[in-house]
Chains A and B, each alone.
Chain A
Amino acid sequence: MERRNFLKMAGIGAITMGTAPAAFSATVCDKDVAFDKSYDVVIIGSGFAGLSAAIEAKRNGAKDVVIFEKLSMFGGNSAINGGLFAAPNTPMQAREGVNDSIETMVQDQLTAGRGIADEALLRHVASNAAEALQLTIEAGAEYHPYLQQLGGHSVARTYQTSVSCGAGITQPLLKMARKEGAVTQNRAKFEGFILNANNQVVGVKIREGYYFGREDSGKVINVKANRGVIMATGGFAQNIKLRMAQDPTLNHEVGCTNVEGSTGEGMLAMFKLGAVPVHLAHIQSGPWASPDEGGFGYVSNYSIYNFPHSVAIHCATGKRFMNEIADRKTRADAELGCRDQDGNPLPPIMITSYEHASQHPNCKKVLKYNVGWKFDSLEQIAERFNVPLTALEEQITEYNGYVKAGKDPQFGKIMDMAKDKYIKAPYTVVRLWPKAHYCQGGVQVNVNAEVLDSMSGEHIKGLYAAGEVTGGVHGVSRLGSCSIPECMVMGMTAGRNVMKG
């Protein structure tokens, strides 16, 4: 790992650790709590889940809906992710003749979940994913004219925004939410719940005028929620202390794709209220990330597109070390295992034929911004990355044999998407190193997006949650492109049900 980037990530970690979550508390109110503001529905967080919830709440009769966002910008991690949206039985699948089903998508995810994913929630999401996709299109989102098959999926079912970024969805949804009449307020940090004497959530404390990192900035007000509060606060991948408490391997060596606000306070506040913690130790690292750029960058989408027809090479051995389209957990662990003789991180490289890599728009960008490189020969690659040449040549020849045969006896890679795509010159190469990306764990919810109490197993009245702040849906490993459908479907579900209860 280049020293500058390593120190940069270490610095990010140091800054994050200095921003420990504040102590949250629930306030019990009878009649002595004075509310400064009042809304039908109060939504915390402005990503896919929060925006979807706001739109649906409005469309189901909510008079006043507000989205509070603690950062200065709206969109959270949703605005910087890869814009990859998996859904079965979609128009593009029909056009491309892809045979898919709700059941197939659920089974793919159960397999990746290693037997502990929540089947009811997965089925609920898969059953409504096409509808959520349609909502984004109605809002103005545009997609590439082809489907992708991401790691762990048995068929191609993934749409990607034409800008290869989640902002291609968050921007249209934000405009749609406002058009529907939702209020959006930035620099407004959630600081705790307000309960009535029956332990029902009737409001929240919000720090208005909040500047991230300055925990005493602004002023705390009480906000009444006539119908309910929807927590859509995302994950905690940026909280190094908290993630290491769950999984000590996720130390400062592992970067993070998330926005700086992904520190988990909303989740912790719900635990204090009695919500059930589920699967907190299952934290996903993106195996497609690059040590040569910060966050999600450009390499992530480039790699996601190219993994099916590329090889990942351990620089010390010149050999493959993993199935390049296995699920994320398998690949991230394999990459973290790439070390030099002193045990230090030795980021592996991914080699792709330029002919195939150049089909994705990010290829041009990774080359332009020097986070990927083009080579005319394996000799040049071996020299640049200090890879044993003979071993590398043998590996490429072997792998091309797998492409021809349609079978990978080395790692069991499904070769459908690699058909006729041989690794040949000129090559493009990127370095790989996992970044903490997604927290499968969170609070337990049911298919109505209701937060469940750990003592009674019943709905904590007035409290809903959607998106990455919830836990249990994906189990051990979340499949790529399955977060947007989950966030949106559960956000829409919360928006509807808050108006029923």
Chain B
Amino acid sequence: MKLVKYFALAAIVLSASTGAYAKDIKPWHDGFKCKDCHDQGLKSFPSDQSCLQCHDVDDLADATKRGGDEEWQNPHNNLHYGKELPCIECHSEHQKPETYQPLCLDCHTFKYEKFKG
């Protein structure tokens, strides 16, 4: 009976520990491990350079280019910060997409239909 208690406790502790580190990630990042992004340890945000290991800001700016008077609404080459706004100011890996919005929408009512979170 003692052994059963100990095993049960161990199981609870292990599942809790596992749960503490098993964060939801975006479906397009399936297959990546924690250390692929967390270059500053798991207790901190990734560095501003982490996303850029795989993503090129110039390519992104081209992909989200806008014309005419919306030119500077390009989220990846915007009026206030050019191409220097760190990715995590708008994108979050572990939060549900419906709980946050791009930084621009703190002040503007632009449309970012393609923003997936």
Give the distance to chain A from B50, nearest Cβ to Cβ, in Å: 13
Whether B81 lies near A74 (C-beta < 8 A) is yes
Q: Given A72-B48, A73-B85, A217-B44: A298 and B108 within 8 A (CB)?
A: yes
User: Would you list which residues of chain A between 292 and 310 have a CB under 8 Å from chain B?
Assistant: 293-298
- Binary contact track B40-82/A, C-beta < 8 Å → 1, others 0: 1000110110000000000000000000010010000001111
Asked if B24 is at the interface (CB within 8 A of a chain A CB), the reply is no
How many chain B residues touch A (CB < 8 A): the figure is 22
Give the distance to chain B from A175, nearest Cβ to Cβ, in Å: 9
Whether B109 lies near A72 (C-beta < 8 A) is no
Give the distance to chain A from B2, nearest Cβ to Cβ, in Å: 41
Whether A297 lies near B108 (C-beta < 8 A) is yes
How many chain A residues touch B (CB < 8 A): the figure is 28
Q: Given A79-B80, A209-B40: A364 and B107 within 8 A (CB)?
A: no
Shortest Cβ distance from A79 into B: residue: B80
Whether A209 lies near B44 (C-beta < 8 A) is yes
Give the distance to chain B from A369, nearest Cβ to Cβ, in Å: 4
Q: Which one, A73, A163, A370, contacts B89 given CB within 8 A?
A: A73
Q: How would you classify the secondary structure of chain B's contact residues: helix, strand, loop or mixed?
A: loop
User: Would you list which residues of chain A between 110 and 164 have a CB under 8 Å from chain B?
Assistant: 163
Asked if A365 is at the interface (CB within 8 A of a chain B CB), the reply is yes
- A296 neighbours in B (Cβ, 8 Å): 107
The CA of A369 and the CA of B107, in the complex, are separated in Å by: 11
Whether A171 lies near B82 (C-beta < 8 A) is yes
- B81 neighbours in A (Cβ, 8 Å): 73-75, 79, 167
Whether A365 lies near B79 (C-beta < 8 A) is no
Whether A163 lies near B106 (C-beta < 8 A) is no
Give the distance to chain A from B18, nearest Cβ to Cβ, in Å: 25
Q: Given A72-B89, A361-B69, A365-B69: A186 and B48 within 8 A (CB)?
A: yes
Shortest Cβ distance from B86 into A: residue: A72
Whether A163 lies near B79 (C-beta < 8 A) is yes
Asked if B110 is at the interface (CB within 8 A of a chain A CB), the reply is yes
- A211 neighbours in B (Cβ, 8 Å): 44-45
Shortest Cβ distance from A257 into B: residue: B107
Asked if B93 is at the interface (CB within 8 A of a chain A CB), the reply is no
- A187 neighbours in B (Cβ, 8 Å): 48
Shortest Cβ distance from B48 into A: residue: A72
The CA of A293 and the CA of B107, in the complex, are separated in Å by: 6
- A209 neighbours in B (Cβ, 8 Å): 40, 44, 47
The CA of A91 and the CA of B69, in the complex, are separated in Å by: 28
User: Would you list which residues of chain A between 254 and 306 have a CB under 8 Å from chain B?
Assistant: 293-298
Whether B72 lies near A80 (C-beta < 8 A) is no
- B88 neighbours in A (Cβ, 8 Å): 72
Give the distance to chain B from A211, nearest Cβ to Cβ, in Å: 6
- B72 neighbours in A (Cβ, 8 Å): 163
- A72 neighbours in B (Cβ, 8 Å): 48, 85-86, 88-89
Shortest Cβ distance from A163 into B: residue: B79
Give the distance to chain B from A352, nearest Cβ to Cβ, in Å: 20
Q: Which one, A167, A217, A370, contacts B79 given CB within 8 A?
A: A167
- B109 neighbours in A (Cβ, 8 Å): 293, 369-371
- B82 neighbours in A (Cβ, 8 Å): 171
Identify 30 residue pairs between A and B in the complex whose beta-carbon atoms are under 8 Å apart, listed by A's number. A72-B85, A72-B86, A72-B88, A72-B89, A73-B80, A73-B81, A73-B84, A73-B86, A73-B89, A79-B80, A163-B72, A165-B79, A165-B80, A171-B82, A186-B86, A209-B40, A209-B44, A209-B47, A211-B44, A211-B45, A293-B107, A294-B107, A294-B108, A296-B107, A297-B107, A361-B69, A365-B69, A369-B109, A369-B110, A371-B109
Using A72-B89, A74-B81, A369-B110 as known contacts, list a sample of 7 further A-B pairs with CB atoms less than 8 Å apart, ordered by residue number in A: A73-B80, A163-B79, A186-B86, A209-B44, A209-B47, A294-B105, A369-B108
Nearest 8 Cβ contacts at the A-B interface: A295-B107, A294-B107, A369-B109, A167-B80, A79-B80, A72-B86, A73-B81, A294-B106
